[in-house]
Structure 1
Amino acid sequence: MSNMAQEHVDFHHLQHNKVQSASLKTLWITLSLTLFFTIVEVIGGIMSNSLALLSDSAHMISDVLALGLSMAAIYMARRASNSRYTFGYLRFEILASFLNGLALAIIAIGIFIEGVRRFITPQDINFQLMLIISSIGLVVNIVLTIVLSRSMKEEENLNIQSALWHFIGDLLSSIGVIVSAVLIYFTGMLWFDPLISMVIGCIIFIGGFRIIKESYLILMEAVPDKFDLEQIRRDLLEVEGVEDVHEMHLWAISSDHYSLTAHVFVRESIQPFCIILAINETLEKKYNITHSTIQTEHADIHPHGDYGRTFSQRSSRNT
């Protein structure tokens, strides 16, 4: 009996999972390099007493946590769907991205507050150590940004995108710290350090906000930006036998897994199975939407209140 139940579950729930070998390999490489340099930068930031360097090291710590979340999301996405989680665990990718973006924003605010404090009370800095550590960081972040950018081209993944934003922020941070060290060396003005750190904080906040916004829209099941819902509706109305399209919903489960549902009033003279087949082919060929649920209806049997009656009256006048 249990075997039959298992077969029943497997039959009714298609495999909503996602194997991302390239993304996983990229994240392992990135995590290893990031963890190593984070330790170096934390020690260097404390020894040099540079806020710009410490803010960059704090950002690197968030990178380690973010990459850990991203890797957990990829492993979770491999798990098959079941009778409770009918879409599998794909949505965990978006939850991880949301937390990553939130971490970026919180860190940016903390950097900005500390920058203001150091503007008021400047502190001595070991600019030579600051310059050495930031130069090493620049090389590491260039390598990691290139690795993540290439991975984005292979597999679309919001977690990789959020990790990429982390390292773009790190790259700009490293450049900012180097500029700060050089300016302090030539001018002796210590306020360049908190100024650069505040600029870095603003850049980090912008990146975090973008990730929060994108993951929030997916969690709210908004229509993805790449789709025009009204254009899809017009294309479905072009399918032979479709008289009207309503109750249409389109949302993303994860960054590249889309679902669409719709109700359609159909012409009685055409087999509804043929209409559904044509609709599915249209969605797949024109929009790469492979997971759709179409309910065929007759306006007089499924009137949907005033909507169906109005449609029937309009159709009668046209004929």
Structure 2
Amino acid sequence: MGHDHAAQQANRTRLTVAIGIVACVLVVEVIGAWLTGSLALLADAGHMFSDLAGLLIALAATVVAARPATDRQTFGFQRAEVFGALINGLILLAVAVSVVIGAALRLLTGQAGEVQGGPMLVVAVIGLVANVAALLLLRPAAGSSINMRGAYLEVLGDALGSVAVIVAAVLVLATGFTQADAIASLLIAAMIAPRAFMLLRDAVRVLSESVPVDTDVAQIRDHILGTTGVVAVHDVHVWAITSGAHVFSAHVVVEPGVLNSGGAGRLLDELSDCLSHHFDVAHSTFQLEPAGHAAHEDQSHR
């Protein structure tokens, strides 16, 4: 427990420092985009803003997830992370669409505007150096925590965006091809859009209480039916409170001897262990019932 607490504290410290780095670079890129006229810098700043939101969500998740459940929030506050991901996905999508529109207008009209390659290159290099520093800071925890891995990937996306801006700035300086700025902004938008859709898809899947993608209900049902003393299973439900926190409930029809001989406790332990070990289900609930009981229930069964 002490080790886990120390690891959580270390992760919070890493996230806090990374947030400070990204926030500073965001301000520099916004000012740089305004001074240089670079759409690519502005696109990367928008990308970085959404990633800053993602880092803040990751930091909040380390705090909120530790809060105990209450009578009003019986599963705790873990779903706050999902709402944050939904907002972040919408922001990402809005940034990608606006960048594509701006870049398309510049390319189609042939009016790239005045882009100052020198200052643009300086700002992009500062952004890349800062992102690499944040990556090195987050990397030690990325392998042991899905939350920290998400934060690491956020910053990695920023670093790739900075590389695209650097290439565009070099082309502007070397050849005077100012359209490279608009092309770079399209590349950044292409990096943003897939992640936006994945975030929105995952958030909607959790909020709609769909079965998690890595869970096979048929396999779970087969495992339960293969347990000694189980006759049938119905009213099977699997959903997630947040990413990685799967919840399961089912009605399990058992042999008369299980209930009559006091074997219900043993069977519940066996079923819970099966769900936890084989399907990574954090919380499972089973209603044990005798044969024929389902006929008294109102809802249809699966």
Q: TM-score range by the shorter chain?
A: 0.7 to 0.9
Task: Answer whether contact 2:255 2:291 (CA < 8 A) is retained.
Answer: no
Match of 1:276 among 268, 271, 275: 268
Question: d(CA) in 1 for partners of 2:163 and 2:22?
Answer: 17
The 1:165/1:290 distance shift into structure 2, 3 A limit, reads closer
1:22-52: CA deviations, max 9, x gaps?
A: 4422320111101111222222222221111
Identity level (%): 32
Residue in 2 that maps onto 1:289: 281
Matched, 1:259 2:247: yes
Q: TM-score, normalised by structure 1?
A: 0.83
**Displacement, 1:147?**
3.8
Task: Answer whether contact 1:94 1:254 (CA < 8 A) is retained.
Answer: yes
Match of 2:117 among 114, 121, 127: 127
1:240-283: CA deviations, max 9, x gaps?
A: 00011111111111223221101111111223333222211222
Question: d(CA) in 2 for partners of 1:21 and 1:132?
Answer: 35
1:52-105: CA deviations, max 9, x gaps?
A: 112212222333333334333432222211111101111101111111122111
The 1:145/1:213 distance shift into structure 2, 3 A limit, reads farther
Aligned residue for 2:146, secondary structure, equals coil
Runs of 5+ unmatched residues, structure 1: 1-18, 309-319
The code of the aligned residue for 2:268 comes to I
RMSD: 2.3
The code of the aligned residue for 1:175 comes to V
The 1:274/1:64 distance shift into structure 2, 3 A limit, reads closer
Matched, 1:24 2:12: yes
Question: d(CA) in 2 for partners of 1:67 and 1:191?
Answer: 32
The 1:162/1:211 distance shift into structure 2, 3 A limit, reads farther
Task: Answer whether contact 1:70 1:97 (CA < 8 A) is retained.
Answer: no
Question: d(CA) in 1 for partners of 2:91 and 2:157?
Answer: 13
Match of 1:210 among 198, 201, 209: 198
Residue in 2 that maps onto 1:34: 22
Aligned residue for 2:238, secondary structure, equals strand
Task: Answer whether contact 2:51 2:158 (CA < 8 A) is retained.
Answer: no
The code of the aligned residue for 2:270 comes to A
**Displacement, 1:292?**
0.9
The 1:206/1:30 distance shift into structure 2, 3 A limit, reads same
The code of the aligned residue for 1:75 comes to V
Task: Answer whether contact 1:73 1:96 (CA < 8 A) is retained.
Answer: no
**Displacement, 1:294?**
0.3
The 1:167/1:29 distance shift into structure 2, 3 A limit, reads same
**What is the aligned length?**
289
Question: d(CA) in 1 for partners of 2:65 and 2:267?
Answer: 33
The 1:306/1:173 distance shift into structure 2, 3 A limit, reads closer
Residue in 2 that maps onto 1:109: 97
Residue in 2 that maps onto 1:192: 180
The 1:202/1:151 distance shift into structure 2, 3 A limit, reads same
The 1:102/1:168 distance shift into structure 2, 3 A limit, reads farther
Question: d(CA) in 2 for partners of 1:39 and 1:20?
Answer: 29
Task: Answer whether contact 2:38 2:115 (CA < 8 A) is retained.
Answer: yes
Question: d(CA) in 2 for partners of 1:137 and 1:156?
Answer: 25
Aligned residue for 1:269, secondary structure, equals helix
Matched, 1:230 2:218: yes
Question: d(CA) in 2 for partners of 1:102 and 1:163?
Answer: 18
Question: d(CA) in 1 for partners of 2:29 and 2:137?
Answer: 21
Task: Answer whether contact 1:266 1:297 (CA < 8 A) is retained.
Answer: yes
Question: d(CA) in 1 for partners of 2:41 and 2:300?
Answer: 62
The 1:307/1:213 distance shift into structure 2, 3 A limit, reads closer
